Amino acid sequence: MIDNQKIKIMGHLVAGYPDTAGFEAACSAMSDSGIAILEIQIPFSDPTADGPENTGAGEAALRNGFKVEDFYRYLNFASARGFDEIHVMTYANIIFRYGIRKFIDDMNKAKVTGVIVPDLPIEDEEGFYSYASQDGVAVDAVPVAVVNMIPERIEMLRNLHAERCYVSLRQGVTGTKTVMDNDTIQFLDSLGVPKLYAGFGISTRDQVDALQGHAYAAVVGSHFTRTIRNAGSDPKIIYREMYNNAIKFS
C-alpha cells in the first residue's frame, strides 16, 4: 500500500496527433479539466507496446511529417500549461539514435519529470538508468513493470531503487479491457516503489478508484486517443470532447 492521498491521473497524448492544432487543443483541455500529469509519446514507426489506437495515432503523425526534432514544439507547449509532471514515452531505438546522454540531458533541460521506455530491458539498458541517477540530473529514468512478471525481474527492478515505476496492468498491448483483481493489487503493493503509474486499458472512473491507495497515478491513454479520433479535425470540437471526457477522471 502507498499513502492514501488521492490518486492522480496521467493523461497520454501522442505528439503531432491529429496535428499541431489538435494536439494543443487536447493538451489544453487536459490541463483545464484538472488532469495533473501528462505523458507525451514520441511517434515511432515500429511500436511494441501500443494498441491499435495509439499505433494509429503515431502512424498518422508520422504521415503528417513528424520528426523527432519537432517534439520540442509540443513539449514546450505542454510545459506552459501547468501540469504537475510531464513524462516522455518513447522507444529505445529513438534514444539510441539520439544518444542516451544527450537525450537525458535535453529532457533534463526541458524539466521533464521522467522518461518511460517500454521496450528497454533492465539488463540491457546501456547506461540509461545509471546516467539518469547521477547528481545534477533531475529527470527520472522510469522502469516498466508488468503484472505477474517473474520474481527475478522484480528483484532487478527493486535494485534500481527507482522513485517511479510505470506498471502495465496486464501483458500485451494498450487499449483492451483491464480488470483490477486481487492479484493485480497484490502485485502493485509488492513492488515497494514510492510512485507507481498504473496503466494499460484504463477507461473508467471505477478502474481508477480500484487503484486508490495502491498507485500514485492511473494512466489514461488509448481512451483519450480514441476521444481525439472520434472528435475529428476541428480543434474546438477536440477541446470540447477531450474536456468532457477528462473531467470525469479528474
Active site (catalytic) residues: 39, 50
The answer to whether the peptide bond before residue 18 is cis (omega within 30 degrees of 0) is yes
**For the chain, how far is it from start to end, CA to CA, in angstroms?**
22
CA max distance for the chain: 49
Q: For residue 147, which amino acid is it?
A: V
Q: How far apart are CA 72 and CA 174, in angstroms?
A: 25
Q: CA 133 to CA 197: how far, in whole Å?
A: 19
